[in-house]
Chain A
Amino acid sequence: MNFPILTTLIFLPLISSFFIFLSKGQKNDNSAIYISLFSSLATFILSLFVWFSLDLSSSDFQFLEEKSWINDFIKFKLGVDGISILFIVLTTFITPICIISCVNSVKTRVKEFLIAILILETFMLGVFCSLDLVVFYLFFEAGLIPMFLIIGVWGGPKRVYSAFKFFLFTLLGSVLMLAAIIFIYWLTGTTDITQIYEIKIPKEYQNILWLAFFSSFAVKMPMWPVHTWLPDAHVEAPTAGSVILAAILLKMAGYGFLRFSLPMFPLASEYFTPLIFTLSIIAIIYTSLVALMQDDMKKLIAYSSVAHMGYVTLGIFTFTKQGIEGSIFQMISHGLISAALFLCVGVVYDRLHSRMISTYGGLVNYLPKYSFLFILFALAGLGLPGTSGFLGEFLVLTGAFQKNYLIAMIATFGVVLGAAYMLWLSKRVIFGNTNNSEIKTLKDVNKLETLMLVSLGLLVIYFGFYPVPLMDTVNFSVDNLINNYEIAIKSKGLN
């Protein structure tokens, strides 16, 4: 029996959150922050270790762990492959940044906030590590509890409405997935996904099961028209909450499509491709237009997230290597860029307590470092070549062109709109005249903020120029995914 490295990885934040719970938490006592920072960095290093010791020339699940769990039928099964490891590392990388960001932005109940963040990290890592449907559902749903509290306790004025909307929307989507999971259990006799991949679900059930999973992932993604919870949640959540929401929670759905919908229901995925394409296109165009009209910075970035997620779904359902790799790349890069943009908004929000675009203007004259970083991430957000944002969109569109010209053309138009809202945002916030006299008194980014933003910025540029580490990691897993999909389509579900 090997050392259960994934279990350690998942439960390390949970255990350290328990220690924070025991710490005194008096004022000016930073022990809670140190504990959480230390444990999240340890988790990050552990996840890097997993990444580097992963055998990338194989598409099999590795670091397998299996324990009998419910009645010997359902096993607590964990494992990682090339796709999931990227999301794990993204999670463990973003969490320390969130913890650092709360030094400036969270003033009340810091201890509880850190506990919530660390518990949330445990659940997110569990989602990406689990190889069993029930285990996956357990972690997927459990994440609602800490996120609900993060929005509700530390959020803005309309936090109650947003927290409820977030919770109930997601729960409603998920219970149908739970029904589907139980149904699959009775259909195949197992919830172990590696076994389900081989058993192959009969054709007649695929469509309905696919829809049940889709209902959950579409809400989480979020896809148009069930995206309305996202802007509300983002606007009201504290900075760290927005960062986690945008960088990781949204990726769970894209990961879910790749891990469950595509391999388990290939025929249904093929059948519903037009639906996904339509919704993705609407998301890309419509929410980009909506983003143009926002006067709240966070809301604008939230809508841009919906648009970017549109590319992700579009890419996944092209079933081409470029498309799927592009989607994964887009998710990772969006995780970095949107996190950075929300942090940027958080920086000025901590100083002026306003998210309105009209409050700002001409920041470049008074906060040069901040303006540089803001422009960097805005450009990355619109997909400028040389940043990671470009490659993801480019690959997705390449994949889409192989599949459907019209869709690809319309989606490409979305890139232009993306440039429009991002540049206009930069123009109004960073450049222009300074109407607000308070801006003149603002201080530029401090050391912690620079640390967070620069580390994100370096990665965005690094992956923009040299995406090989990411591409190599997913290469064989994606090949395997597409191979299995094509075999299933050719055999038309006949075993």
Chain B
Amino acid sequence: MINNLNILLPEIFLTISIFSALMIGVFIKNSFNLIFNLSSIIILVTIAIIFNNSNSSEKIFLDSFSRDAYSNFFKILILISSLFVLNSSKAFIIDSKLGKFEYPIIILLSILGMFFMVSSNDIILFYLGLELQSLSLYILASIDRDNLRSSESGIKYFVLSALSSGLLLYGCSLLYGFTGSTNFDLIANELNKENIGAVFAMVFILVGLAFKVSAVPFHMWTPDVYEGAPTSITSYFAVVPKVAGLAVLIKFMHIPFSNILLEWQTIIIFISLASMILGAVAAIGQTNIKRLLAYSSIGHIGYALAGVATGVISGYESAIVYIAIYVIMNIGAFSCLYLLKKDGEYKEKISDLSGISKKHPILAISFLVILFSLAGIPPLGGFFAKFYVFTAVLEQKMYALAIIGLLTTVISAFYYLKIIKTIYFDDSVITFDAPKNKFAQLSILISCITLLTFFLYPSVLNNVAESLFIY
């Protein structure tokens, strides 16, 4: 029993700390700063606990909760990215008068939900984790409640997400009905092509998961929520839930649905292609950076899904490497947005970036590195992410997917170039305030250095990803 608790230790610690922090917040006035710093410490301690926790694969509570290298890796990725997202956005949160102590607590709650998602080995636990995460995200999307656009985006996200959760739950119940079990391993044994009802269930579950990672055609909410929500929330949305969503998606494909590979493969290929194409084409006309990054993230999820679509371990690994590099790039990109401050107001139009290379050369060159990396131009990190995915795709002889994917990178290069053009070629318009947000600068620095030096050791992440699938 004690041993079991040890396996669950990160979740237990997180839960207790969240409620303690909540209590502190309730009883101490103006405790935003305190709670915020406390949350950062909680995240750091949780990281330490997971690092100390063994990576050996163990399942507890009737095999419904599994702790293994795979879930531990994603938990650490979620925690580290949350830490960066939170801290680099702190100044923004205070400036935008969102400094309520609930803010970091809700973020921690969503992290807890994601923990259960990536660790779940049972559809019930999975659904509970997903709902905990989603409910926290609804609140976060509309946290700026006096702002019309933020409230609108929150409502929009809530309605659509609730619908997709409903579909997902329907799929889960069908799956239980047709296989007689809620456990991933048992479902995997029961499932086969003849089990039409279960294949049907798979489609519903896929729809729900595709919504969570904002893949086309379930992406409608993404641009509006990204634009409407405060930037600090957007950066969280763009990074952390994507990681958790992809982790669960890969797990579903790898364990319960491994026997109906051909059935789900077609769907994922379509979703992946559609995301890549829409992400490339729809972003061209955007004028708002956040909206553009929304479409760009749709495109990036398409590439990661192309790795998943291969249906083999090497493909999943490439998708994991892709999402890790995506996280690094997006943390950098959003941290840049926190520095676009003029007279206390944050700018988010592309035209506001006009000619910043003259007045803010360091910020401009960081943008340059991150944008070229997002476009996948070598020798930056983003290139290797795409390289691994397409290597895996071509290994499975999926030529059409690879060629279309590579061509969309050319189209998407166009809008990244457009921003670089605005930064470097256009005349200077705005001089931004001297950057005070030290942590955002640190995140940008780390992100840029990682992307620039990635080519020295390009197989670091691969080696990590390889170790995740050894049971």
Do A and B bind? yes
Q: Does A106 contact B (CB under 8 A)?
A: no
Q: Does A226 contact B (CB under 8 A)?
A: no
Q: Does A286 contact B (CB under 8 A)?
A: no
Q: List residues of chain B with CB within 8 A of the CB of A85.
A: none
Bound-state CA distance A160–B427 (Å) is: 13
Instruction: Assess the B378–A148 pair: CB atoms within 8 A.
Output: no
Q: Which of B357, B394, B409, B459 is within 8 Å of A183, CB to CB?
A: B394
A136-158, CB under 8 A of B: which get 1 and which 0? 01110110110011001100000
Q: List residues of chain A with CB within 8 A of the CB of B413.
A: 167-168, 171
Chain A interface size range = 20 to 34
Chain A residues touching B, majority SS: helix
Q: Does A356 contact B (CB under 8 A)?
A: no
Q: List residues of chain B with CB within 8 A of the CB of A149.
A: 424
Bound-state CA distance A179–B408 (Å) is: 13
| Given A142-B379, A164-B414, A171-B413: A179 and B406 interface contact (C-beta under 8 Å) | yes
Q: Who on chain B is nearest to A141 by CB?
A: B378
Q: Who on chain B is nearest to A115 by CB?
A: B365
B430-465, CB under 8 A of A: which get 1 and which 0? 000000000000000000000000010011001100
Q: Which of A112, A171, A185 is within 8 Å of B410, CB to CB?
A: A171
Instruction: Assess the B417–A176 pair: CB atoms within 8 A.
Output: no
Instruction: Assess the B394–A164 pair: CB atoms within 8 A.
Output: no
Instruction: Assess the A175–B406 pair: CB atoms within 8 A.
Output: yes
Bound-state CA distance A186–B402 (Å) is: 14
Bound-state CA distance A182–B389 (Å) is: 11
Bound-state CA distance A58–B391 (Å) is: 35
Least distance between B364 CB and chain A CB atoms (Å): 10
| Given A144-B377, A148-B417, A160-B421: A168 and B410 interface contact (C-beta under 8 Å) | yes
Bound-state CA distance A142–B378 (Å) is: 5
| Given A69-B459, A160-B425: A172 and B410 interface contact (C-beta under 8 Å) | yes
Q: List residues of chain B with CB within 8 A of the CB of A176.
A: 403, 406
Instruction: Assess the B462–A71 pair: CB atoms within 8 A.
Output: yes
Least distance between B455 CB and chain A CB atoms (Å): 7
Instruction: Assess the B414–A179 pair: CB atoms within 8 A.
Output: no
Q: Does B218 contact A (CB under 8 A)?
A: no
| Given A137-B378, A145-B377, A153-B425: A69 and B458 interface contact (C-beta under 8 Å) | yes
Q: List 9 A-B contacts (CB under 8 A).
A: A69-B459, A70-B462, A137-B378, A138-B379, A145-B377, A152-B421, A178-B387, A182-B402, A186-B394
Having A152-B425, A168-B410, one finds 13 other A-B pairs with CB under 8 Å, namely A71-B459, A141-B378, A141-B383, A144-B377, A148-B420, A164-B414, A168-B414, A172-B407, A178-B390, A179-B394, A182-B387, A182-B394, A186-B394
Q: Please list the residues of chain A having a beta carbon within 8 angstroms of any beta carbon in chain B.
A: 69-72, 112, 134, 137-139, 141-142, 144-145, 148-149, 152-153, 159-160, 163-164, 167-168, 171-172, 175-176, 178-179, 182-183, 185-186
Q: Please list the residues of chain B having a beta carbon within 8 angstroms of any beta carbon in chain A.
A: 357, 361, 372, 377-379, 383-384, 387, 390-391, 394-395, 402-403, 406-407, 409-410, 413-414, 417, 420-421, 424-425, 455, 458-459, 462-463
Q: Which 3 A-B pairs have the closest CB atoms?
A: A175-B406, A138-B378, A71-B459
